[in-house]
Every structure is written in structure tokens, then in C-alpha cells.
Amino acid sequence: MNFFSAIVKFENLHEVRRLCHWGPVIALTVIAVCSSVAILDSIIWYWPLDTTGGSVNFIMLINWTVLILYNYFNAMYMGPGYIPLQWKPDNQQETMYLQFCRICQGYKAPRSHHCRKCNRCVMKMDHHCPWINNCCGHLNHAYFTSFLLLAPLGCIHAAFIFIMTMYTELYDRISFGWSSVKIDMSAVRRVHHPIMPFNVAAFAATLFALGLALGTTIAVGMLFFIQMKVITRNKTSIEAWIEEKAKDRIQYYQTGEEFVFPYDLGGRWENFKQVFTWSGTPEGDGIEWPVNEKCHQYTLTIEQLKQKTDKRVRSVQYRVVEDYNGACCPLGKGLNTFFRTPCTEEPRIKLTKGETIFATRGTKWWMYGDKVLTEEQIRDGVRIRGWFPRRCVEKCHYDSANNSAPEEKKDL
């Protein structure tokens, strides 16, 4: 009993609950199915352990599984690193360049962003990944990217085993009409006496695992290339979006500014080393960063403040004229609203007739904005923003966002 208590502590149970989410459940199920079926297919039908090649193949399959799980769980449980609660820079004057987070009651350090799901300000936040049920950021970016590389490689190996198992076992059974399908693959075809017959259930399991392996290879492989693209430029997905908005702002207002992304060190290898190190721990403390010689520590945060100001200027005030329950695909708001719901994890917000919304962006059928809150809610750090059907609101022509929006200086 004492041994069990030493392993499972009550303060660690919240970490165990991280697995109780659809993302890790699906991810670990795919890994388990592909790995177990590949191992069984190799041992029983295609490449038994009584051969040198079979033993090497078995060891490689085990190694893929161990490496994939090692990087997966490190990405999940090491986490991205969080800005300390109530953090502020040593120099009080530098707070004018930073946004203030009312939830964490502190300033957002450069490259950090508040994650509404983790409910903390995350160091160098890239995105919140549902597959690891955690954010991808400063501390776990390398592990997460390594997982994205190893998973497709392991699936490619497994897919080869699945294809060759089905070919080997069905070589003399496949026929279409009057002609049998005979392909000369004597170099890779292995003839031996299997431990058990290759029946319909084994064929169905192998075919299902093959579909999972190929789908994972394509989907996760694309994510890997996206991550490597931002890593070699020393950006995150959020920062790439900030840079794009900076260029749009400069072009819109014709300010003549030249925006230089501050964290691009000028070479792909130098940027790569900011994430991947031999020790596995990335460089830096997650608060101060090496920057381009044309920039300084607060170049990007100043740009974010400019974009916040521009966002408030462009926001439009709307009044709610129709209740909305916050459903992702509401049935009672029209077919176009139902079928053209935004494909994003951003929340939907409930609306009550008479409320006021400041909309900042939208589509033909949906809008995104912030609710106007009471002074008490603002003091408590409450912020309600998200998507809602356009048909539920109407534009307020008697007022503008500039003179009626609540003060949101250095807001979330």
C-alpha cells in the first residue's frame, strides 16, 4: 500500500486527467493499433523472429513505438512553460510596451500569449494542441516536433508490413474474373509456415490498421512540415499571423514603416538551434530572447499594442436582437448558418436580446466579437468573446466603437 501511495499521489492526479480527453485517447489508440497489428503481422505471418531480418524488423518496430511515445508524453507532461503569475519586468518603465493579463494578474512577457484552455500565459505559445491536450510552446516545442516526425516514419514502416502481409498471405487467393493477379515479387515475398491461418478477421484488422497508418502519415506529416517551416524562421504560428497583420496594417494606413520580425536570426541553422538542442532543453528562460540586430526585446509587443489599438478603432458596435444558445451548429438560425459554421476551435458565445457586442471580424453568416461587460465583470478579469450568428445582431447606427467601448488598454 505504501509503495502504491508513493507512485500515485493526490497532487499528481490532475496530470493523469490530461489523458482523459478525446485528443490523447484517439492519438494513443492509433499508436496502439498500428504498433500492435504491425508486430503481430510480422511475427505470425510475414517476418517471423526465427530469421535475422525478422528480429531486426521486430526491434525496429519496438523502437519506433518507444520513441514516438517518449516524445509524445514529454510534449504532453513537460508542457510549454508558463509565465509566473503576477509577473512584471524588473524595469517598471518597460510595462508600457507590454499587454496586461487580467486573469493572470501580470504582464505578458515577449512571445507569450494567454491560453484560454490552459488558463495561463504560455511562454512562446505556438498553439493549443488537442492531440496532447496541452499547449505547444517554449519547453516542449522540440518534443512535439520530434513526435510529428517519428509518427509518420513509424507509420510508413508499419504500412509496409501491412501491405506485404496481405500480399504474402493472399498471393494465391486474389483473382478477378478469368485472370489471376500475379506480380513477381519473389525478392520480398517470404514463404513460411505461419503460426495461425490468415483469416477474415486478420485481414480486416490489417486493412483497418493500414488505413490508419496511411492517414496518419499524410496528416501528421503535413503538420511536421508546417512546424519546420516556422521553426527555421524562428517563429510560432501565432507570430506568423501577427507578422501578416503587421504588413496589412502598414499597407492599410500607408505609414511607411518597415516591419522586421525580431526573432529571425538570419539563418535557418541558427533559428533551428533555438528549438533543438543536444540536451533537449531549449535555450533561454522563456522571457528574454535573442533578437535581430535591427530590433529589440519589445519590437513585437509594441506591434501587438498597435494592432490592439487598430482593432478597437475598426470594431463595430452591434445590438443583440435575437437570442442564441451558443451551439456550434444552430438548427434554428438558418441553413447557411448551420452548414457554414466557422471551422475553428474558437468558442461560440451565448447571446441574450438587448446585449451589446463589439464585432472585430466575421464572415457572411457569422461574426466574432466581445461582449460589453459590467464594471464588476471587468474588475474580475472576465472576458466573453467568440463567434455568433450574424442574423442575431444588428448594427448600432447611433454610436461608434471609439466612444462607447469600455476601456481595454493592455487587455488580454
**pLDDT attached to residue 193:** 61
Helix axes 52-78, 22-40, angle to 10 degrees: 170
Q: Tens of pLDDT along 306-336? A: 999 988 888 899 999 999 999 998 988 999 9
CA distance 299 to 259: 9
Asked whether residue 274 is assigned to any structural domain, the reply reads: no
Whether residue 10 is predicted with pLDDT greater than 70 in this model: the reply is no
Whether residue 15 is predicted with pLDDT greater than 80 in this model: the reply is no
What is the percent of the chain where pLDDT is above 90?
A: 63
* 227 & 320 share domain: no
Triad 115, 119, 121: Cα angle to 5°:
55
Domain boundary among 198, 231, 264: 231
**pLDDT attached to residue 220:** 97
* 219 & 76 share domain: yes
Catalytic residue among 129, 135, 136, 392: 129
Phi and psi, residue 254, nearest 5°: 50, 50
CA distance 259 to 250: 8
* 202 & 71 share domain: yes
CA distance 298 to 288: 10
**pLDDT attached to residue 324:** 95
Task: Give the domain extent around 147.
Answer: 11-80+141-231
* 225 & 323 share domain: no
Q: Tens of pLDDT along 113-156? A: 999 889 999 999 999 999 999 999 999 999 999 999 999 999 99
Q: Tens of pLDDT along 202-212? A: 999 999 999 99
Asked whether residue 349 is assigned to any structural domain, the reply reads: yes
Give catalytic status of residue 129 as yes or no: yes
Domain boundary among 231, 254, 272: 231
What is the percent of the chain where pLDDT is above 70?
A: 87
Asked whether residue 361 is assigned to any structural domain, the reply reads: yes
Q: Tens of pLDDT along 255-306? A: 888 899 999 998 999 999 999 998 888 888 999 999 999 999 999 999 999 9
CA distance 290 to 298: 11
Question: If you average pLDDT over every residue of the chain, what do you get?
Answer: 86
- Kindly compute the dihedral angle of the four CA atoms of residues 278, 271, 225, 118, in this order, to the nearest 10 degrees: 80
Q: Which of the four pLDDT bands, split at 50, 70 and 90, describes residue 38? A: very high
Indicate which CATH number applies to the domain containing 368: 2.30.30.40
* 211 & 325 share domain: no
Over residues 62-75, mean pLDDT: 96
Asked whether residue 200 is assigned to any structural domain, the reply reads: yes
Asked whether residue 237 is assigned to any structural domain, the reply reads: no
**pLDDT attached to residue 175:** 46
Over residues 25-41, mean pLDDT: 96
* 156 & 45 share domain: yes
**pLDDT attached to residue 5:** 47
Domain boundary among 187, 214, 231: 231
Q: What is Dmax (Cα atoms) for the chain?
A: 85
Asked whether residue 132 is assigned to any structural domain, the reply reads: no
Q: Which of the four pLDDT bands, split at 50, 70 and 90, describes residue 13? A: low
Q: Tens of pLDDT along 210-236? A: 999 999 999 999 999 999 999 999 999
* 341 & 209 share domain: no
* 41 & 188 share domain: yes
Whether residue 400 is predicted with pLDDT greater than 80 in this model: the reply is no
Asked whether residue 266 is assigned to any structural domain, the reply reads: no
Asked whether residue 411 is assigned to any structural domain, the reply reads: no
Q: Tens of pLDDT along 247-264? A: 989 998 888 888 999 999
Whether residue 91 is predicted with pLDDT greater than 70 in this model: the reply is yes
Whether residue 61 is predicted with pLDDT greater than 70 in this model: the reply is yes
Tally of residues, the chain: 412
Phi and psi, residue 65, nearest 5°: -65, -45
Q: Tens of pLDDT along 149-189? A: 999 999 999 999 999 999 888 765 554 444 555 555 454 44
**pLDDT attached to residue 7:** 43
Whether residue 23 is predicted with pLDDT greater than 70 in this model: the reply is yes
Report the number of distinct structural domains present in the chain: 2
**pLDDT attached to residue 346:** 84
Over residues 362-368, mean pLDDT: 92
Over residues 2-10, mean pLDDT: 45
CA distance 267 to 372: 45
Alpha-carbon Rg for the chain, nearest whole angstrom, is 27
Per-residue three-class SS string for the chain: CHHHHHHCCHHHHHHHHHHCCHHHHHHHHHHHHHHHHHHHHHHHHHCCCCCHHHHHHHHHHHHHHHHHHHHHHHHHHHCCCECCCCCCCCCHHHHHHCCEECCCCEECCCCCEEECCCCEEECCCCEEECCCCEEECCCCHHHHHHHHHHHHHHHHHHHHHHHHHHHHHHCCCCEECCEECCCCCCCCCCCCCCCCCCCHHHHHHHHHHHHHHHHHHHHHHHHHHHHHHHHCCCCCHHHHHHHHHHHHHHHHHCCCCCCCCCCCCCCHHHHHHCCCCCCCCCCCCCCCCCCCCCCCCCHHHHHHHHHHHHHHHHCEEEEECCCECCCCCCHHHCHHHHHCCCCCCCCECCECCCCEEEEEEECCCEEEEEECCCHHHHHCCCCCEEEEEHHHEEECCCCCHHHHCCCCCCCC
* 165 & 31 share domain: yes
What is the pTM (predicted TM-score) of this model?
A: 0.83
Instruction: Give every strand in the sheet of 385-389, ordered side by side.
Output: 385-389, 366-371, 356-362, 316-320, 393-395
**pLDDT attached to residue 16:** 78
**pLDDT attached to residue 406:** 43
